[in-house]
Each structure stands twice: as structure tokens, then as C-alpha cells.
């Protein structure tokens, strides 16, 4: 009688080995934190015994290791385990987080740089000793990265790393760029990423009392697809004393500026729906008002918290009359006087804009005494107060 050849695990198809790997991850009922798909040392040990079983482990784990992130508080996957996992499953990893939000690990970063060419989202902090590693991560996945978030560890002078923006390669798929914290002297490097749709720039807290000068709109002018722009802690100013032509921002829908100084006029943004100017300074009379009125008529939400206050009765009415879709407006009212004539004009403008109880305008003002006068005049002229919410 012929003896059948001995069969081993490597003779089994991936679908059967998938069930075995699932079984190795099981724990007795009530063991906290485990499911069929969780990591276990047994699975990884089996995967390391042969190339075939390593590929089977990758098949089994194809939906598990989408994110590479080392967290010392998660005791199941160690620094030593991650390089092995990445060598087997690196092609399925689409997100790398290298701090903040987790613990920095050179071993994990090296594994990602060697084995993860399909990253879509990359997040990291630049320290004094990791610049080359994080750049290697970016270079490895430069054709697929669509979201990049990084910053410099400025809270500890001994850990501040060198500037890396000029070393980042072209990223043709990049749609979102967030730099927190950001150094103004790197700003023009952003122009290389022409397909960006979302941009977030935040300078260190130590620079916000006296923000660094930056011609923000010149920096962003080549970014024709930019839809969302958030900037914190800069002095927006022209680089020349001559009048400078500012191109339109054709796609911008949301612009948020905070903790900054404004010394030049904003560009026109015909698609803008949300404009938020918070905790800013502007010492050029009428500049903020002119910048707001240059925007397209689709504006729905407007916050103008600039000091000193620029809006008076006439400029407030101009805003409400132009932006008929406006449904939220927050503004300092130091220069505004609510008398009967002005309130009649205000209510008339709201009526023309189609403001109703079902579709009100929310006004947020900063002086209680004037708000009380506004409420009084509204009651006296018998206008439906539900057209306007006053805070």
C-alpha cells in the first residue's frame, strides 16, 4: 500500500490558513479586548516560520493593519513586532502616525519607509534626530500620499529639528496639508503642491503676540484648487509699498484667520461660503470691511472679531444687504448705534433677504446694553423677532 506523502501547513490554501490564524487570535470568553482579528504573538510566530505562511498571514491581515502607529500604552504590539508585521503587510498600510498622538518609534518609521509604498495619510512630528527617517517615509509613498500633517517640536529647544519642507518631494496626489507648528520662512515651499485643496498653517504660540510678516495671498496664489484655508498667527502684509495686484481665489469656500495682524486687503473669493476672522488686529481704517465686501454673494457665515472695531452702522448694513444668503454674523459693535431709524433699515434689509422664522439670521454682538436697545426697538416696531436671533 502506497504511503501518502506527509502534508504540512504550507500545503493548505490561504482560505484555510485564514481560519487557523483566526483561531490563534481567539481567547477564552471574557478575556477583555480580543476578537478574531486582533494581534497575537502566536499568529506572528507562525507567520515567521516560512515565506508561504508569511504571505498567508498577509492575506489574513489584509484589513487589519491599515494604520502603522506605535503606542507604548497598547501592550500587545511591541516595537520589535512592528517591523515584522510591516515586512509582511506593508503594502496594505494606508496610514502612518509617527507622533503626536502616539509614541515616536524609529523602528516603526524605518519599517514604514522600507515596506509601505501605498500610504495615503502621513502624520509626524519633526525632532532633532528624525528628519531623515520621516523624509524616507514620504519618499517611499510619494505617489500615493493625499494627506500630510506634520510640525516641529518647538516646546523643547533641545528637540527642535531642522526645516524639512524644501526636502519634501513632489506629491502629485496631495490634497490636504497641515503644518502645526509652522515656520514662516518655509511658506513659499507650499507653492510646489499645486493640487492642494485644504491647507492649515499654525505658527508657534511664542510668535503670536508679534506675528511674523507673510504675504499669505501671494504664497497661496498658485493653489487654484484650494477650497479650505486656515491660518493662525501671521502678519498678513505685502512685501512692497507699491499697490499689488491680488489674483482671485476661484475655489476657496472656507477661510479662517486667527491670532493674526491684517495689513493688506484680501483677494476676491467668488465661491466663499464661510469667512472667520478671530482675535485679529487691523489698524488700517476700513480695510477689513473692504475685504469682506469683495467676497462672492454666496457667503453664509461671517465672523469678524478684529480690533479695533471697524464696523459702523453703514458698513453693517452693507454686509447684510449684499450677502442675502448670510445666516450667521458675529461682529463687534462698539461703533454701532441702535436707534429707531437704523433698526427700521436693518429690519427692512432682512425682509428683502427673505429672512423668516423658519430661515433666520443669527446675529452675535458683544455689548449687552446695545443688544437690549436693539430688542426694545424691534418690539416697538412690531417686527417678527423670530427673523433674527440676537445674542
Greatest alpha-carbon span in the chain? 111
Is pLDDT above 90 for 267? yes
d(CA 128, CA 135): 13
Q: How many CB atoms lie within 10 A of CB 381?
A: 11
Helix or strand (DSSP H, E) at 369: helix 368-380
Q: How many CB atoms lie within 10 A of CB 285?
A: 10
Grid cell of 168 as nine digits? 519634501
Strand partners, 178: 149, 200
**Cα 282 from Cα 218, distance rounded (Å):** 19
Q: What would the pLDDT profile of 297-333 be if each residue is shown by its tens digit?
A: 999 999 999 888 889 999 999 999 999 999 999 998 8
The string of pLDDT tens digits covering residues 164-198 is: 999 999 999 999 999 998 889 899 999 999 999 99
292 vs 42: which has the higher pLDDT: 292
pTM of the full structure: 0.88
Read off the C-alpha cell for 200: 492649515
31: pLDDT confidence band, cut at 50, 70 and 90?
Answer: very low
pLDDT for residue 1 is more than 70: no
The whole-angstrom separation of Cα 101 and Cα 78 is: 17
Taking only the tens place, the pLDDT of each residue in 32-67 is 444 444 567 788 888 888 888 888 888 888 888 899
Higher pLDDT, 70 or 388: 70
What is the pLDDT, as a whole number, of residue 388? 55
Q: Are 375 and 367 in contact (CB under 8 A)?
A: no
User: What sign does the CA torsion over 248, 249, 254, 255 have?
Assistant: negative
Per-residue confidence (pLDDT) for residue 17, from 0 to 100? 82
Nearby residues of 297 by Cβ (< 8 Å), 6 or more positions away = 322, 323, 324, 325
Tell me which of 11-20, 129-138, 314-323 is least confident: 11-20
Amino acid at each position: 500500500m502506497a504511503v501518502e506523502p506527509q502534508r504540512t501547513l504550507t500545503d493548505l490554501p490561504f482560505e484555510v490558513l485564514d481560519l487557523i490564524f483566526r483561531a490563534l487570535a481567539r481567547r477564552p470568553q471574557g478575556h477583555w479586548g480580543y476578537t478574531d482579528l486582533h494581534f497575537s504573538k502566536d499568529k506572528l510566530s507562525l507567520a515567521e516560520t516560512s515565506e508561504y505562511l508569511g504571505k498567508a498571514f498577509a492575506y489574513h491581515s489584509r484589513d487589519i493593519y491599515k494604520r502603522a502607529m506605535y503606542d507604548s500604552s497598547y501592550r500587545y504590539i511591541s516595537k520589535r513586532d512592528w517591523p515584522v508585521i510591516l515586512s509582511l503587510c506593508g503594502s496594505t498600510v494606508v496610514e502612518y502616525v509617527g507622533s503626536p498622538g502616539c509614541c515616536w518609534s524609529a523602528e516603526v518609521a524605518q519599517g514604514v519607509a522600507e515596506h509601505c509604498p501605498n500610504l495615503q495619510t502621513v502624520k509626524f512630528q519633526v525632532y532633532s534626530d528624525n528628519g531623515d527617517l520621516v523624509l524616507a517615509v514620504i519618499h517611499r509613498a510619494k505617489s500615493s500620499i493625499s494627506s500630510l500633517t506634520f510640525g516641529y517640536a518647538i516646546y523643547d529647544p533641545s528637540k527642535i529639528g531642522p526645516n524639512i519642507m524644501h526636502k519634501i518631494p513632489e506629491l502629485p496626489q496631495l490634497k490636504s496639508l497641515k503644518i502645526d507648528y509652522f515656520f514662516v520662512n518655509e511658506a513659499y515651499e507650499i507653492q510646489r503642491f499645486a493640487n492642494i485643496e485644504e491647507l492649515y498653517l499654525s505658527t508657534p504660540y511664542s510668535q503670536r503676540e508679534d506675528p511674523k510678516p507673510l504675504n499669505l495671498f501671494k504664497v497661496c496664489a498658485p493653489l487654484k484648487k484650494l477650497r479650505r484655508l486656515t491660518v493662525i498667527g501671521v502678519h498678513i502684509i505685502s512685501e512692497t509699498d507699491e499697490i499689488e495686484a491680488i489674483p482671485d481665489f476661484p475655489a476657496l469656500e472656507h477661510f479662517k484667520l486667527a491670532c493674526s495682524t491684517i495689513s493688506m486687503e484680501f483677494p476676491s473669493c467668488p465661491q466663499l461660503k464661510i469667512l472667520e476672522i478671530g482675535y485679529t488686529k487691523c489698524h488700517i481704517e476700513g480695510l477689513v470691511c473692504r475685504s469682506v465686501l469683495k467676497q462672492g454673494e454666496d457667503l453664509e457665515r461671517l465672523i469678524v472679531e478684529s480690533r479695533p472695531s471697524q464696523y459702523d452702522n453703514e458698513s453693517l448694513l452693507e454686509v447684510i444687504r449684499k450677502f442675502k444668503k448670510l445666516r450667521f454674523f458675529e461682529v463687534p459693535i462698539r461703533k454701532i448705534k441702535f436707534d429707531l431709524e437704523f433698526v427700521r433699515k436693518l429690519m427692512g434689509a432682512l425682509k428683502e433677504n427673505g429672512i423668516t422664522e423658519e430661515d433666520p439670521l443669527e446675529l452675535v454682538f458683544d455689548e449687552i446694553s446695545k443688544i437690549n436697545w436693539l430688542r426694545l426697538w424691534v418690539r416697538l416696531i412690531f417686527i417678527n423677532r423670530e427673523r433674527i436671533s440676537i445674542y
